Structure 1
């Protein structure tokens, strides 16, 4: 089986950067790809903006060939090239099923929910392997019926003939420069050699889960099980699921699920201080990122603890409270989770004390790229505000780079 990839919701190319171990850009602004993965197709479209900054960045680094800037809802999935691996980081949405259609057409989810576009690709292309990334709250959403959304996903994969593995990974616990918790999902067709190895035997989360092999755990705790075969179909899961949230790591084989809490086998720290040191050669002038004296009180207020009396829309009074945050950041630790609001006058933005400037300042766009383990100046194709947004929205590419050798071996063994 060849190492061919189709990338959905490509953003600025995090999966590709990771799989092909990209660490720099050449003089013509193209990515220097050091891996063996051929990306036969990629789609990136931002419906809420006219300017397509992410797509423009992606095609500047990788060229225009086989790259789509069309709304994925409108893409003819049959025309996507064949591939061995489908990848994508997709939004956490409401995955409830809108209605049941005729038996010939099956069950459809709500329009505009991007997971159903993933399903359409799997139906059309029968992708052997799938690697997805999402926020970890997916495992316990929605708040009104915890776990239902992920159960809908698992049942969908089961009906399409896949086994599934997942793991919540905090990059900062595995020698990466950011405390970012995300769930990674690996699905594989039941008829593959890789799948046959775990058929007909008692599942072992430590032995059989690809992520727990690559990102070691001390132990699996509170191992639980559930049987999705008790539900007739995806619509039944959507309407009647009542098991509760899914735990941090798990597997599904033929509708049978085991899952557990885990304690990570924490590896050496990659500190924010190291990022600040590395970035010096790329940041020509950091003075523009310094905190103005007149805004210092505002920053101190945003970062401080609060107890504020508020009134809801129905007239109910309540106390809004939040704890204090480190101000400036603790640079001996990995960075906190970066959000799309990074770089703005916002509580979540990182503020560091620059020892050379002897001033407080915001992170630079290059530092944000390094925290997400992208090559420096990867996003310099767009305005600064968009650069911060893209990095707040991206994945830690080092996680994908670390998964890559195992994934390559699995696919080449088919």
Structure 2
């Protein structure tokens, strides 16, 4: 099969950077793609902002051809080019479903939930392979019915003719510069050679466990989703509980287990800072002093605060201590979209060269997510931080690339 890709919720192109192992741009700002994958279509739309910062960055790096800036809900799915691999990092939302008023129309997903757009593309285009990324809480959401949302996803894939593998990967365990836990999902048509060669065995078949070595915990659980009539039945009646760190579903039957990572040599925050020193022109704008510094020390400290709920009930809100300043001999903590602000989650380092406390620079954030240097310099610094807080660690995708390529080329 051809190595053709469609990228959903593309952001600034993390999956493309990872699959084509992009390290730099040329003198015109165009990405130098070193890989084998042809991206035939991509979609990026941010409903909350008038200026489409991520889209503008994407077309600067890759060109405007085959890239859509239309709300994915409104995209005519039949007009998306045929492709072999569908990729995307989509939001973790409430996947509850309901029957439509006209029973002949089947089952409707909750409005605005982007997974249903993925489903619609699978129905219209039937790509043989799918690679998705999400936050790890997907496996145990919602809090009121643990595991239901992921069960709905698995049942949807099964009904559309796909088997599925998944794995929670912490990039920091595998020589990457950030402790970022995300679940990666690989789905593939049941009629592919790969599906026919795959057994319901976490050690022998899960592609993620080959590339990111683990020890499986003793307790393996299983579920047979064929016992549920459809996703509506799961939405109303699912009761088995959360899914674990790694699993395989074949013909509606899934097995899964927790894992312990076989940790590789650490890639430290200190190495990122050292690498960025040669590019950052001035650090004066990133220094934190006086009142802001004191506020950050407070925010990162432990707290026990009495609060009163709307119903009048009083309770104690507590937070533990966070490292201040950051530990430079560890990978960075998970970056969030609020990076660079006076916020409990922002990284604050003590820079021994300038002898000052400071926030990370946008370049350092790009390196932590394993993007090329200055990849996001098409936008304001505030948006650069936001984009990196939203992105994936591209090194995860780069490491999976050769295995994915062999799977596709073998078809």
Same fold flag (TM > 0.5): yes
Q: Which residue of the other structure, out of 247, 252, 259, is the alignment partner of 1:262?
A: 259
**Superposed CA offset, 1:227-263 (max 9, x none):** 1011001110111000000000001001101000001
In the alignment, which residue of structure 2 is the partner of 1:123?
123
- The DSSP-based 3-state class of the residue aligned with 1:269 is coil
Decide whether the 8 Å contact of 2:12 with 2:55 is kept in 1. yes
In the alignment, which residue of structure 2 is the partner of 1:95?
95
In structure 2, relative to structure 1, the CA distance for the partners of 1:100 and 1:237 (3 Å cut) is farther
- Structure 2 matches for 1:185-200, cutoff 5 A? 185-198=185-198
TM-score normalised to the size of structure 1?
A: 0.98
- The DSSP-based 3-state class of the residue aligned with 1:31 is coil
- Structure 1 runs (4+) greater than 3 angstroms displaced: 100-105
- The DSSP-based 3-state class of the residue aligned with 1:88 is strand
How far apart are 1:299 and its partner, in Å?
Answer: 1.1
- The DSSP-based 3-state class of the residue aligned with 1:296 is helix
- The DSSP-based 3-state class of the residue aligned with 1:194 is helix
**Superposed CA offset, 1:68-120 (max 9, x none):** 00000000000000000000000000001032465653322011100000000
Decide whether the 8 Å contact of 1:101 with 1:107 is kept in 2. no
In the alignment, which residue of structure 2 is the partner of 1:137?
137
In the alignment, which residue of structure 2 is the partner of 1:391?
388
In the alignment, which residue of structure 2 is the partner of 1:246?
243
How far apart are 1:13 and its partner, in Å?
Answer: 0.3
Q: Which residue of the other structure, out of 269, 272, 296, is the alignment partner of 1:272?
A: 269
In the alignment, which residue of structure 2 is the partner of 1:161?
161
- Structure 2 matches for 1:70-89, cutoff 5 A? 70-89=70-89
Alignment partners' CA distance in 1, 2:195 and 2:207: 12
Decide whether the 8 Å contact of 1:85 with 1:131 is kept in 2. yes
- The DSSP-based 3-state class of the residue aligned with 1:262 is strand
Tell me if 1:229 matches 2:205. Answer: no
TM-score normalised to the size of structure 2?
A: 0.99
How far apart are 1:155 and its partner, in Å?
Answer: 0.2
In structure 2, relative to structure 1, the CA distance for the partners of 1:187 and 1:350 (3 Å cut) is same
- The DSSP-based 3-state class of the residue aligned with 1:138 is helix
Structure 1 regions of 5+ residues with no counterpart?
none
- The DSSP-based 3-state class of the residue aligned with 1:134 is strand
Structure 2 regions of 5+ residues with no counterpart?
none
Alignment partners' CA distance in 1, 2:29 and 2:356: 33
Decide whether the 8 Å contact of 1:4 with 1:38 is kept in 2. yes
How many residue pairs align between the two structures? 411
Tell me if 1:216 matches 2:213. Answer: yes
92-101 or 314-323, which deviates more: 92-101
How far apart are 1:297 and its partner, in Å?
Answer: 1.3
In the alignment, which residue of structure 1 is the partner of 2:334?
337
